[in-house]
Amino acid sequence: MPSNAILTLDDKQITLPLIVGTENERALDVRALRDKTGYITFDEGYGNTGSCQSSITYIDGEQGILRYRGYSIEQLAQQSNFIEVAYLIIHGELPTLEQRKQFSGMLTENSPIHSSMEHLFENFPADAHPMAILSAMINSLGCYYPHLATNDHERDVETYYETAAQIISKVRSLAACSFRSSRGLPFIYPRRDLPYCENFLHMMFSEPYHQYVAKPEVAAALNLFLLLHADHEQNCSTSTVRMVASSGANLFASTAAGVCALWGPLHGGANMAVIEMLKSIHAEGDDGTKFVEQAKLGKADKRLMGFGHRVYKNYDPRAKIIKQSFYSALSALKIKDDPLLNIAMRLEEAALKDDYFLSRRLYPNVDFYSGLIMRAIGIPENMFTVMFAIGRMPGWIANWKEVASNPKGRINRPRQIYTGSQKRDFVPIDQRR
C-alpha cells in the first residue's frame, strides 16, 4: 500500500502522507496543505474530516460494528455492566476484581453533593430545563473541587481518575436533584448499599416515608441503556468536549459543554422525538397504519423518528441488544395495553417487514427503544436527554484525557471560507440611506 498521495494544484504537485488506523481506516494528512499551497479543505459538517486520532471507540457503520477499546458492544452488553464499561473506557482496560471494587467504592464515596450546592437548585425557575441545570451544576462542581479544576492540563491529568469518579458518580445525583427540584419535591440522598442504577432510581422516585425499590428488570434495562450510550466516537457532543479541552479547560468545564451540545434536538433529543411522534399519531386517532402509509408517500409532516441512523447503514447494533431488555422491562412493569406502545409496535412491525423500509434500511434504532424504556420507567420526556448525558459521560471523560495528555496538542481552530463583503469605507450615519 502506498504511503503517500499526490495532489496536483496550479500545475504543482504536493505530496500528502497517508495515515492508516488499526482497523485499516485510511486518511489523507492535510495538516501542511495550507502552508505549502495556500489552500484549505472545505468539509461543512466535518463528515469527511478526521479531527483526531483516538483509541477509545471504533465504528463501522456499513457493517453495523461498535467496539469500546476493542471489545464488541454485543459481548460487553451480555457479560458486563455500565460501571465496568465506564472503567474500561476511562482507564483503557477492563478492571480486575480488586480494581472494580475500588472504582465502585470511589463512586459510592463521591455520590453525595456538597450541601451548599442544594441551594443552587432553588435559584432556577421551576420550569427550567433539566439539561440547562445539569450543565450549570457540572460546571459548578469545579468550584467545590478547585484542586481538580486548575485549567492546567498537566496538573489536571494527575488528578484525572479522581475527577472522573467525582463526575461519573455525581452526575446522577445532580440529575435526580434537578428532576425533584422541578416538581417541588425534597431531595433524596444516595444510599451506600445500592448499585449505581438502583441508587439513581432511588434518588429519583423515593419519598421520605416510602423507598422506591427498582425491579431487577427495570434496573437492568437502565444499566443497559447507559452502557450502550457510553461512547459513540466523534459525534457532536464528544467533538465539543475535545474542542473545549483543546483550550486547556478542565474536565468539569469540558463535560458541561458536552451537555450543552447533547441538548440540541438533532443530537440528544432523538429518543424524545420518538415519543412526540407516537403522541401525535395517537392524537389523530390513528393506530400507526395511516402514518406509515403517509410516511411512505413522503409527507413532510409524517417523518419516522427512531428509524435509520446517520452512521449505521445497516441495523444499529445497539437496537438489537436493547430490544430484548425493553420487552423484559415491560413484562416486569406489567405494561400490556399502553396506546403509545401499541402504535410503536405497529411501526416496528412495518419497519421489519415492509419492503419500503427494508430497501432503505430504515430499521428501528437505539433511540426508538430507549425512548419507550424511559417512558415505561416513569422518566419524563424532558429528562430523556439527561439520561443520555449520564450514559455518555465516560466517553466524554476519556476523550478529554486524550486531548489533555497530548504534549503536542494545539487549540482547535477550524478555518473558514469568507463569503462576506469585500473591503469598504465607513459611512457616517447622516450619509446612510
pTM: 0.93
Question: How far is residue 427 from each of residues 87, 215, 431, measured CA to CA in Å?
Answer: 61, 71, 6
Of the candidates 57, 83, 87, 51, which has an alpha carbon nearest to the alpha carbon of residue 70?
57
Q: Is 212 helix (H, G, I), strand (E, B) or coil?
A: coil
Residue 421 lies in a domain: no
Residue type, 175: A
Pair (277, 258) in one structural domain = no
Pair (365, 386) in one structural domain = no
Could you list the residue range(s) of the whole structural domain that residue 214 is in? Answer: 72-263+382-404
Q: What's the rounded Cα separation, in Å, for the pair 216 and 329?
A: 9
Q: What is the mean pLDDT of each run of 10 residues along the chain (433 residues)?
A: 85 90 92 91 92 96 94 96 98 97 96 93 91 96 96 97 97 95 91 96 93 93 96 96 98 98 90 90 91 82 81 86 87 83 88 87 88 90 95 98 95 94 97 93
pLDDT for res 1: 63
Residue 191 lies in a domain: yes
Contacts of 115 by beta carbon, 8 Å cutoff, 6+ apart: none
Pair (245, 131) in one structural domain = yes
Question: How far is residue 81 from each of residues 47, 85, 87, 115, 162, measured CA to CA in Å?
Answer: 32, 6, 10, 30, 21
Pair (208, 105) in one structural domain = yes
Of the candidates 374, 384, 382, 378, which has an alpha carbon nearest to the alpha carbon of residue 221?
374
- Residue 290: count other Cβ atoms within 10 Å of its Cβ: 13
Q: Are strands 65-68 and 12-20 parallel, antiparallel or unpaired?
A: unpaired
114 carries an active-site annotation: no
Pair (333, 353) in one structural domain = yes
Q: Is 210 helix (H, G, I), strand (E, B) or coil?
A: strand
Question: How far is residue 369 from each of residues 65, 287, 327, 348, measured CA to CA in Å?
Answer: 19, 18, 9, 10
Structural domains in the chain (count): 3
Pair (115, 257) in one structural domain = yes
Residue 56 lies in a domain: no
Rounded to 5, what percent of the chain is helix, strand, coil? 55, 5, 40
Pair (284, 164) in one structural domain = no
Pair (224, 80) in one structural domain = yes
Q: How many CA atoms lie within 13 A of 99 on its CB side?
A: 14
Residue 21 sits in a domain of what CATH number?
2.20.28
Among 309, 337, 338, 425, which one carries the catalytic annotation?
A: 309
Pair (389, 307) in one structural domain = no
Pair (349, 304) in one structural domain = yes
Pair (310, 395) in one structural domain = no
- Cβ contact 311:61 at 8 Å: yes
Sign for the pseudo-dihedral over CA of 88, 93, 94, 100: negative
Contacts of 319 by beta carbon, 8 Å cutoff, 6+ apart: 363, 364, 365, 366, 368, 369
Residue 233 lies in a domain: yes
Angle at 17 between CA 11 and CA 21, to 5 degrees: 145
Residue type, 66: L
Pair (363, 326) in one structural domain = yes
Terminal C-alpha separation, the chain: 63
Residue type, 318: R
C-alpha cell at 110: 463521591
Residue 424 lies in a domain: no
Rg (CA), the chain: 24
Sign for the pseudo-dihedral over CA of 297, 303, 305, 309: positive
Residue 300 lies in a domain: yes
Residue 332 lies in a domain: yes
Q: What's the rounded Cα separation, in Å, for the pair 10 and 163?
A: 51
Q: Where are the alpha helices (DSSP H) in 151-269?
A: 153-158, 160-182, 196-205, 216-228, 236-245, 251-263
367 carries an active-site annotation: yes
Residue 414 lies in a domain: no
Q: What's the rounded Cα separation, in Å, for the pair 249 and 149?
A: 8
Q: Is 119 exposed, middle or buried (0-12, 13-18, 19+ CB in 10 A)?
A: exposed
Among 156, 231, 316, 367, which one carries the catalytic annotation?
A: 367
Residue 78 sits in a domain of what CATH number?
1.10.580.10
Residue 276 sits in a domain of what CATH number?
1.10.230.10
Q: What's the rounded Cα separation, in Å, for the pair 127 and 395?
A: 29
Q: What's the rounded Cα separation, in Å, for the pair 227 and 396?
A: 14
- Cβ contact 232:395 at 8 Å: yes
